[in-house]
Amino acid sequence: MSKLNITVNGQIHHLDVPESRTLAQVLRYDLGLTGTKIGCEEAECGICTVLVNGTPVNSCIFPAFKAQGREVQTVEGLAHDGELHPIQQNFIEHGAVQCGFCTPGLMMTATALLNENPDPDDHAIKVALKDTYCRCTGYASVIAAIKSAASEMRGEGPLPVNEPDVSEPMHAISRSVPPQYVREKVTGAAKYTDDYCFDGMLFARTLRAAYPHARILSINTEKAKSLPGVVAVLTHADVPGENLHGLVYRDWPVLCGDVVRYIGDAVAIVAAETEDIAAEALKLIEVEYEPLLVVGDPKFAHSPEAPVLHPNHPTGNLLKHIKVRHGDIEQGFAQADYIVEREYRTPTVEHAFLEPECSIGIPPGVEGHEKLTILVGSQIPYQDRNQIALALGLPEEKVRVIGTLIGGGFGGKEDITGQIHVAMLAQATGRPVKMLYTRQESLAVHPKRHATIIRMKTGATKDGKLVAVEAELYGDGGAYASLSDKVMTRATTHATGPYVVPNAKIDCYAMYTNNPPSGAFRGFGVTQSAFAVESNMDMLAEMIGIDPIEFRRINAQKVGTTTATGQVLRESVGLLETLSHVEHDMVTSDGDFRWAWRDGHKAYAWGLACAYKNTGLGGGAPDRAEAEVEAFEDGSVEVRVASADMGQGLAHVVAQCTAEELKLPYNRVRVLLCDTDLTPNGGPTTASRQTFVSGNAARVTSALLREALTRSAAEFLDVPPETLYYEEGLLRHNGKSVELGQLVGWMKANGLSSKVRHEYHAPATQPLGTGGDMHFAFSYATQAALVEVDMETGAVKVLKIIAGTDIGRAINPLMLQGQVEGGIVMAMGNCLTESYIVENGIPWTNLLSRYKMPSIKHAPEIISHLIEDRVSTGPYGAKGVGEICSINTSPAICNAIYHATGVRIFSLPVDQDALLRAIRAGQTEVYTAWHDVR
Amino acid sequence: MKLWNHYHTPHSIDQALALLNQYQGKAKVVAGGTDLIVELREGHHPIQEALIDVTQIPELTRLTTTDNEIYVGAGITHSEIVKSAVLAARATCLVESCGVIGGPQVRNVGTLGGNVAHALPAGDGTTSLVALDAEAEIVMNGQRRVVPILEMFRGPGQSLIDSTRDVIIGFRFALCGDNEATAFKRIMRPQGVALPILGCATWVRLNPAQTHFEVARLSITPLGPTPGRAAEVEDVLIGQPATDITIEHAIETALQILKPRTSKYRATGDYRKEMIAVLLRRTLQLAVQRARTGQAIPEGIGME
């Protein structure tokens, strides 16, 4: 311990802390300033940025004693006397806050910029924020917010917000209200799991497998247990209940005892007084292994030579064979004048949510917790509870899962990570236990987007009518099933694209391998198949000699057409409208439109692609969400639902639905999410379903509460209930009125409840193969990409994206636009920069510095049109948006690259090396990606 | 996780050396820490008993110009280099190379001395120091020495100095005068590790009539375990007309002599060869133009 004298946000501190501390650790752990977040500890993501003597630095690698005698400014120092700094205010106004985890870093970096440059242009902002990452927003709103703050700070007032046009705005629906908790997120007060601390809390770490595939011969924990400060070391022998978890198939050991199947497998867990001791203890655990043959890729997994990874699985390494059969494939191709058949590859992709996984287990009896409680930022709290209870051998009612704020998810926080482990350690030690994954551990452990190999054959007539699609998909499911079954089903059922294809035969093989598991990732398999579909579409259009837009228009799904799974589309098919909006911006509004042109050594071109994506679970799965809505005597209303807000904005959606039904001001509605004791089950936050199901649950439940309130008010005011109407928190009739709060007081006094709970059931769906409605709604999208290719280096830059997105209704137009912008930029990563590399089961991508996601310098100009083709069963006509915006960007970019260079890309991410060599050699097809460079 | 036990911030070189001596190999010199601390966390080095932060030593934080020479303290940050008007005008390649290191947060603490001490085969700042024909002032084995920059590199990640014992004090090099100019460009790949596929720093002096190359210094990295000069390519330029034709001749020679390897997950040898041509062409054309006009505005700062 030594004396550290630093000034933080104007306050002088004299701290006795170890000299080994980083500045981030001092701020977070010694000063409790948890607004500064830690994302990677590699000086890569920039979200830990604070100012030291006014200069932005990465506090995660900045030694605390380097700040000796200096002034440090953190996000907590931005607001003064409760008044937000213009940067904070403008981040809210311009919709630049989604999950909020990177927000402090973005704002601190922006603060330093504006101190130096009061009027930055886009370029200056991009330079300043180049290494401060945001995975949610796509940066457009961030740039707008910074410019507006600068304008305000110059005394010129804030700039107008880029509000999307929407139709028929209602009282609270189709209004760009600020998201929930946004003030907390911009001030640093928002609490994510690692921001919680409890008295006597222990710190836990996990011992991971030493091999991607090996038999465990012995585990000896004695030395680790005897290390001073270690409180518990647990192995498979200590799992009280069933040593398995899994969302679809229960095939994933809580702690491995006999075999390890991937490098992220957990073998032992340690709880100790400090993180350092826990880490030290891991080194003392002795595990003897017998390495086994590694199944490194899905095609080998399918071969007879491959060892069977899950002997209990009835079809061996074939996790699931998914089939779509529609029409007569042979007849279909017999009618085709043109046929294209190609093989596509897409890589494993990492979510790289900026908040690494964290769980805290609290045993019963601690700090008023009556039962075993787990704090976690999870996308599926009720299924967490179920899986924890089964592993601990407890009834579900004995376990409580409390969802904290989530720093991004994108599908990557659906599976169990540390939840069961901290529950076990809390039970074993009787003390609260926190398990925070390092970024590097997060990269190794949680399921990723499936790498796929897709062979796709598409046939069309000379008139431009699609007649047949035959496809074979291989998906690398990794070591455990996770959501492979569902994800690869979606890849398969969407493999005809949003088109009418009368004959289809599609086979998908999801395979077990010894790679990290694959699971849910925004787009849910459709991202992969859309790359093949939309590339084939452009190739066919060229062969036929038809404009690629016209070709899509001819074949587009419309009301009354049938999907390849046999579903007749009865309403809300906005594809053509998305297409015409994009075409208008790209072609019509440019009097001199050309698909491609050259300027010196730069080639420019447009490319276009379409997509569709289901809303909801579909396939016959019951799709439900339950909500509870309660009115209080202070005139406020609380809506409760266990559905996750990982930044996408579910909380404001349910609040808006409640405000709408009760005609309340939005700020009188509170939202309580994800507490299995206090909030009813909203089901998984996946499949673009929550606006639909939880939005509907909030809508219907609020309407039921309204009826109850109306009945009471009618009695209270002594008027007929049908004459009452709601206005701004009042119930009115002919000049008579009663305040909502007053009415609630009266109801309570009369023994009436002002709380309603109701479970919403989405329209029933049918399983694949039955030909019925597999899904109750689809969202549609068209995107056009303008790219610049440096013909001397092969470097590809996306300059502009025009997006048309049919989402039924924009409940919150500004925040929905943020979903679209964020989805596009994330998809640009999928196309151009991201690949999680695994070499025979060993991840090469073991650091965030080995995984490049798009930074603000990649952010293109985005023009977004929201198409509102209402779906009658959706809340006010809304359907899902989370995924549809992130699916067709990759093929749009690759189609543009083709127009620019004459070279077609068949493997992602685009490799500038191979692209340039193809250009030089006059080759027109590239089948390798950058990870193939050896 | 704890990566070091003690953190010292000496205010003189003697104090720094005394501390290093005291820890007997169990302490390392640190400046910005943007490489060292990340490597410590990745387990490339054992936990250090102490880190000796040299960024508060006046001699290491000076940036002084005397006549046509400049001294850049080893503890000067990349951001300070980028902000220096004299370096921008008269050692443009150094500003262009330090300006593309990491992001602002890294450039604000990372130092030129750290870049050299890290001894990567293609350190951006290093590549430009080679083209500028800089000398490094160091304390090695307790002795002050001045060594040519290229002598600082012993192998990939291995410099002449031992950071548990020695200190880099600063760098000296001649500033560009009349008819002289520099340029730096590099090709990154958008994926994977932030390592350049190829970087190239160019220094040229034209004759007083500005028609011919008089002298040229070229550093193309990485082409081997340590940074180096492309002497044979320089020879092609010397005495020849400062035209695109000469530049193309130099490129032809470069493509014959230089044999870039395929680097896993970085680039193929063929591609890197193409990039030698692109970078030589772009930097030489730019340097000639700058030498002729006497005007140099750094390009690409903060965005590559």
Domain boundaries, chain B: 4-53, 58-174, 180-292
B77: phi > 0 → left, psi -120 to 50 → alpha, else beta; which?
beta
Q: Shortest Cα distance from A147 to chain B (angstroms)?
A: 19
DSSP states of A587-624 = IIT-TT--SEEEETTEEEEEEEEEEEEEES--TT---E
Residues with Cβ within 8 Å of residue A214, at least 6 apart in sequence: A259, A260, A289, A290, A291, A292
* Nearest-by-Cβ selection for B105 from A56, A795, A930: A56
- At how many degrees (to 10) do helices A484-493 and A526-544 cross? 20
Residue B304 in this model has a pLDDT that exceeds 80? no
User: Which residue in B has a C-alpha nearest to residue A440's C-alpha?
Assistant: B42
A347-371 exposure pattern, b = at least 16 Cβ within 10 A, e = fewer: bbbbbbbbbbbbbbbbbeebeebee
pLDDT of residue A381: 97
A451-479 exposure pattern, b = at least 16 Cβ within 10 A, e = fewer: bbbbebbbbbeeebbbbbbbbbbbbbbbb
Can you name the residues that pair with A346 across neighbouring β-strands?
A: A452
Residue pairs spanning A and B at CB distance below 8 A? 151
The verdict on A42 touching B (C-beta cutoff 8 Å) is yes
Beta strands in A687-769 (DSSP E): 725-727, 730-733, 736-739, 755-761
Question: Is the Cβ pair A63, B33 closer than 8 Å?
Answer: yes
Which residue, among A477, A469, A402, A475, has the nearest Cα to A432 in the 3D structure?
A402
Which residue, among A145, A84, A892, has the nearest Cα to A530 in the 3D structure?
A892
For A378, half-sphere exposure in the C-beta direction (CA atoms, 13 angstrom radius) is 30
Residues with Cβ within 8 Å of residue A169, at least 6 apart in sequence: A175
pLDDT of residue A197: 96
> Cβ contacts (< 8 Å) between A130 and chain B: which residues?
103-104, 302-303
For chain A, how many residues are written? 934
- B180-292 — its CATH code? 3.30.390.50
Residues in chain A predicted with pLDDT less than 50, given as ranges, are none
Rounded average pLDDT over B69-93: 98
Instruction: Walk across the sheet containing A55-58 and list its strands.
Output: A11-17, A2-8, A71-73, A49-52, A55-58
The verdict on B67 touching A (C-beta cutoff 8 Å) is no
Residue A78 DSSP label: T
* Domain B4-53 indexed as CATH 3.40.50.1820: no
User: Which residue in A has a C-alpha nearest to residue B278's C-alpha?
Assistant: A792
The C-alpha atoms of residue A303 and residue A465 are separated, in whole angstroms, by: 38
Please name the residues between 279 and 298 in chain A that touch chain B, using a CB distance below 8 Å. 279
pLDDT of residue A128: 98
Residue B55 in this model has a pLDDT that exceeds 90? yes
For A782, half-sphere exposure in the C-beta direction (CA atoms, 13 angstrom radius) is 29
Question: Is the Cβ pair B103, A132 closer than 8 Å?
Answer: yes
pLDDT of residue A540: 98
Question: Is the Cβ pair A930, B192 closer than 8 Å?
Answer: yes
Which residue, among A104, A702, A689, has the nearest Cα to A379 in the 3D structure?
A689
Which residue, among A890, A780, A834, A784, has the nearest Cα to A532 in the 3D structure?
A890
Residue A349 DSSP label: B
Token pair belonging to B184? 């730096």
The verdict on A850 touching B (C-beta cutoff 8 Å) is yes
Which residue, among B294, B290, B292, has the nearest Cα to B93 in the 3D structure?
B290
> Cβ contacts (< 8 Å) between A832 and chain B: which residues?
190-191
Contact B96, B299 (CB under 8 A): yes
The C-alpha atoms of residue B207 and residue B210 are separated, in whole angstroms, by: 5
- B58-174 — its CATH code? 3.30.465.10
pLDDT of residue A588: 80
* Nearest-by-Cβ selection for B5 from A19, A61, A131: A19
Token pair belonging to A24? 């981030």
Ordered structural domains, chain A, with CATH: 1-164 (3.10.20.30), 196-292+351-443 (3.90.1170.50), 452-613+769-932 (3.30.365.10), 624-761 (3.30.365.10)
pLDDT of residue A368: 86
The verdict on A834 touching B (C-beta cutoff 8 Å) is yes
pLDDT of residue B67: 85
pLDDT of residue A282: 98
pLDDT of residue A863: 97
The verdict on A46 touching B (C-beta cutoff 8 Å) is yes
Q: Find the radius of gyration of the CA atoms of chain A.
A: 28
**Residue type present at position A727:** E
Dihedral angle sign, alpha carbons of residues A451, A457, A461, A467: negative
DSSP states of B280-293 = HHHHHHHHHHHHHH
* Nearest-by-Cβ selection for B7 from A63, A132, A857: A63
pLDDT of residue A480: 98
Reported confidence tier of residue B266, pLDDT bands at 50, 70, 90: confident
Strand-strand pairing, A602-615 and B48-53? unpaired
C-alpha dist (Å) from residue A496 to A483, A562, B151: 22, 12, 62
> Cβ contacts (< 8 Å) between B82 and chain A: which residues?
none
B58-174 and B180-292: same fold? Answer: no
Count CB atoms within 10 A of the CB of residue B143. Answer: 8
